[in-house]
Structure 1
């Protein structure tokens, strides 16, 4: 390889490394330095033993455990349906169960606020708003898709003939499930539960909007200490604790996912037709848990007085005194940031994926772990780290608009890599070997073989990054910005807290618009994944 090409390959390798190093690892180091330097180490241990911290930590943990348990119990019937049966509209069913998972948290919170108001559950004896029950319902709404996909795909690969033999021998259905099916599902159940627990542990927008001021988790307390009170020291201590907890859970998740992959050989069998009772029961259950909040959100968005119209959507173009720009202008900002973030994530994640697959073992492990770590850090901690680290030249970007899509790209890169890497690894090595024997250089092999095959997967990963960016709220809530660069989720957050039916209607209209954009993106992703067998995602 000539020096020029060697330089190009080195540049491509260090491009994603420098990006993640500057905008992810440097902010993390600043958080640790603020929390654990010599002058503040005593404050660190003192805060850990304080009563306010114990209360916040206890509430964070037990609400995450309860949310995880409820999600697992309610999602198992749908996982069973998807795993063992075929029915008309199965792919659409899977896509619809996925939509809540990628909805912006402020949109989901708005949906449940509309639901509570519609049925009189926002006040009085049966009030759910600003209670832990609101958090549980919203977490179930968000995380059902994780269990359905993780457990359902694993369950579909288990040989059903074991259960059939037990049935022939006279075993009751419940006995078969408890003694045979459930033990075989433990790896998938544990893997799904660990993922759901992490998401509930790091929940931010849901707790902030539905939990109210009296209920705080570590995530919301980081935001309150840093943004409201300006106490960077306490916020740094909380961020370090949250990082440690999440890292432990990520290690557990990786262990469980590896165990899930090797615990039992999978088989491919044709699923039988689902019974009407099973199908209707699942549709009703998911219709109540997932569909009802969305339907009520749409109804509140088009409801004006005693009738229905699109007046609230028209009002999105009007600027109100509570926010410095209109909802429509904020939506345009979000779309611009999402496009830039998706392009950055696709370019950097695609390059990193190539080196993970075709680099030597050391490079592969280094990039795979280093580039995936942002997936294990909450957006709140990432935003807080950027707030306190990118404040001096030449990295003083806190007043620049590019910082928002950079933060969003960091969250999207792992999704790109987990979509592209499996596709690259499935390319037949004989194609590359044949091209090399015919005289093609490594760069031409990449250009004419790897890139065309991986391009569609790259597009799916970019769509994931776009969906994440369009509704991102946690990191963005920390980043300083000009008033005219507010994103749609931030404007929606302000509108949901404003009094008055007109403003609430405009908030619902903006929430529906964001929901339609993310839903369209998810359906596009699902269509791409199912249309081409060459695309395989680890998500």
Structure 2
């Protein structure tokens, strides 16, 4: 039989293999045209997306900060010099303001830690009506401005406040006994009142994740409440306490509104010193030098807060 016509009629692709099925396309070889973008194009795209926020940050934050630093290096006599920093560090007003700022911030942080731990402990573990509503109010309280709390304390304990008014009506005295809001103790009370919820918030979150079976087991074995708090609850709360305390310390260090609204004339903190040098004395190089020192301290404490928060998982 002659098979030559049949071989001639066979399709040309039979020699190379079976034909592709209908509807199926061949895969594109690596490196061929139409492949996805390479690492270089992805990096360029990320850089392009990062440019707008970086530009806004540089325009509205870094540029004003650079102007403050430049002004702190330009004394009134002209030129560039460290003389403003030398004058600031040599002044007794700066040393007093630095000491006042540090001890008020540390004392307020300690007060917030103690009061915040006790209040969070009661809200989380003592059943009473309205506990959940009070826990939600803590979140709302965080949005209040600091001067609002100071005004509330003035209405209560000011010279013409409610407490002194009730005292004079009851005793007939000309003046009431409450006259501490214009002292460092008034500033301390206002800061503890305002910043305590900043400690309570991470504590309540930590207490919500605590295994209550441990508490029930300890109670069934006869452990008293102080022992349970010391041996079970407090170790679990230490990371949240450290994170909240670090944040409160940073905020207290830079607090301006509370000191201003209490009218404490004898209390001069670093932010108040910046205000006095810039507005009252028109000493802009000195004010900028104090501001730079305050920023450096704040950034250092904020770095500490970030480390503690990362370890605490906050």
TM bucket (normalised to shorter chain) is 0.7 to 0.9
For residues 2-401 of structure 1, what are the structure 2 equivalents within 5 Å? 13-36=50-73, 39-84=80-125, 88-116=129-157, 117-120=161-164, 125-261=177-313
When the two chains are superposed, the root-mean-square deviation of aligned CA atoms in Å is 2.7
Q: Residue 79 of structure 1 contacts residue 152 of structure 1 at CA under 8 Å; is this kept in 2?
A: yes
SS of the residue corresponding to residue 164 of structure 2 reads coil
How much does 1:108 deviate? 2.3
| Change over 3 Å in CA distance of 1:183–1:199 after alignment to 2 | same
How much does 1:203 deviate? 0.9
Q: Residue 100 of structure 1 contacts residue 141 of structure 1 at CA under 8 Å; is this kept in 2?
A: no
SS of the residue corresponding to residue 203 of structure 1 reads coil
Q: Residue 138 of structure 2 contacts residue 201 of structure 2 at CA under 8 Å; is this kept in 1?
A: no
How much does 1:106 deviate? 2.8
How much does 1:16 deviate? 2.1
In 2, the alpha carbon distance for the partners of 1:225 and 1:50 equals 12
Give the alignment's TM-score, normalised by structure 1.
0.44
In 2, the alpha carbon distance for the partners of 1:90 and 1:119 equals 28
| Change over 3 Å in CA distance of 1:144–1:160 after alignment to 2 | same
In 1, the alpha carbon distance for the partners of 2:149 and 2:225 equals 37
Partner of 2:12: none
How much does 1:36 deviate? 3.9
Q: Residue 198 of structure 1 contacts residue 246 of structure 1 at CA under 8 Å; is this kept in 2?
A: yes
Task: Encode CA deviations 1:213-259: one digit per residue, 9 max, x unaligned.
Answer: 22111011111211222111111111111111111111111111111
SS of the residue corresponding to residue 244 of structure 2 reads helix
Computing the radius of gyration from Cα coordinates, the structure with the larger value is 2
In 2, the alpha carbon distance for the partners of 1:88 and 1:172 equals 24
Give the alignment's TM-score, normalised by structure 2.
0.73
In 2, the alpha carbon distance for the partners of 1:118 and 1:85 equals 32
SS of the residue corresponding to residue 120 of structure 1 reads helix
In 2, the alpha carbon distance for the partners of 1:241 and 1:56 equals 12
Task: Encode CA deviations 1:412-454: one digit per residue, 9 max, x unaligned.
Answer: xxxxxxxxxxxxxxxxxxxxxxxxxxxxxxxxxxxxxxxxxxx
How much does 1:157 deviate? 0.8
SS of the residue corresponding to residue 142 of structure 2 reads helix
Q: Residue 130 of structure 1 contacts residue 212 of structure 1 at CA under 8 Å; is this kept in 2?
A: yes
In 2, the alpha carbon distance for the partners of 1:70 and 1:7 equals 50
How much does 1:125 deviate? 4.6
Task: Encode CA deviations 1:313-352: one digit per residue, 9 max, x unaligned.
Answer: xxxxxxxxxxxxxxxxxxxxxxxxxxxxxxxxxxxxxxxx
